[in-house]
Structure 1
Amino acid sequence: MKSLEKCLLAVVLACCLFQMGQAIKCWDCRSDNDPKCGDPFDNSTLAITDCQQAPELEHLKGVRPTMCRKIRQKVHGEWRYFRSCAYMGEPGIEGDERYCLMRTGSYNIFMEYCTCNSKDGCNSAGVHRMGWMGVLFGTLASVLVAHFLRQ
């Protein structure tokens, strides 16, 4: 392999690894304080929060947020939305972010918890997952670039 090809491949791999190593960033808002936090979600006036900078919770010493969460809550017929960094839980249901955990209670109470970690800002309106197909595609693209540079 030529040194240029080795250098290019090293840069591509380093970029992939660097992206995976960064902390997740999530939207942080409440619809009872900001109507733009509801659905449809309007992040035009919100800054995204770096979860690595989120404060440590008193009741969860040593636990850092690694995911984003969106909570949709209906209390006495009124919908409320909460978006934040998530300290505990798992993405989606059994790892599938397309599905949210739903709970109902007495007195007309409904809650939906959507947790994700697939990309920054994944707790916006929709949840999209790249997963292993994206990693596979990136690896294939790197191999093809190296192959064409060799010729």
Structure 2
Amino acid sequence: MNTLNILSIASCIVVLVFVQQAFSIKCWDCRSDIDPKCADPFDNTTFAITDCSTRTLDHLPGQKATMCRKMRQKVDGVWKYVRSCAFLGEPGIGGDERFCLMRTGTYNIFMEYCTCNTKDGCNTSSRLSFSPLLPILIFAVLNAFR
């Protein structure tokens, strides 16, 4: 197999593995006050991932959800987590998803608001994750050099 074919195959695989769908994002949608598995550490075994293109808000007609969000709130010492689709704002702070908006208030209130759009389900707990297509990419590249 020549170098051009190897590069073509590798490029196609990279596009399949790393490029998201341009029209919608899928996010986790849950509340820890309803299901404790929604808190951190997040256990997504009982939740279906939600296609945000199907979500609408009555007070924002025509607005599309383009991001996922995770809110962590502490009110009077009690933590509550909410994961959902996000309709407004930008990912992270200044476009950097590593940073979340944090606010504290009177009467023992704390809130952390994180938004992301890098991949489906990005509103999970913070941890390193790989695409499920990564093994296919590795296999294809290794076979191309045989």
- TM-score tier by shorter-chain length is 0.7 to 0.9
Counterpart in the other structure of 1:115: 115
Q: Give the 5 Å matches for 1:2-151.
A: 5=5, 8=9, 12=13, 15=16, 19-54=20-55, 56-126=56-126
CA RMSD, aligned part only? 2.9
Give the TM-score of the pair, scaled to structure 2.
Answer: 0.76
In the alignment, structure 2 segments of 5+ residues that lack a partner are 131-136
- Between Structure 1 and Structure 2, which shows a larger proportion of helix residues? 1
**One-letter amino acid of the counterpart of residue 44, structure 2:** N
Cα distance between partner residues in 2 of 1:34 and 1:51 = 20
Cα distance between partner residues in 1 of 2:127 and 2:93 = 13
Q: Secondary structure at the match of 1:52?
A: helix
- CA deviation profile, 1:89-133 (whole Å, cap 9, x unmatched): 111110110110011111101100000000010000016699xxx
State the percentage of identical aligned residues: 60
Cα distance between partner residues in 2 of 1:117 and 1:110 = 24
Cα distance between partner residues in 1 of 2:8 and 2:97 = 36
- CA deviation profile, 1:62-84 (whole Å, cap 9, x unmatched): 10100000000000110000000
Cα distance between partner residues in 2 of 1:58 and 1:51 = 15
Give the TM-score of the pair, scaled to structure 1.
Answer: 0.74
In the alignment, structure 1 segments of 5+ residues that lack a partner are 131-140
Kindly report structure 1 stretches of 4+ aligned residues shifted beyond 2 Å: 4-22, 127-130
Change (3 A) 1:13 1:109: closer
- Aligned length in residues: 131
Change (3 A) 1:129 1:103: farther
Change (3 A) 1:61 1:127: farther
Tell me if the contact between 1:25 and 1:49 (Cα under 8 Å) persists in the aligned partners: yes
Counterpart in the other structure of 2:133: none
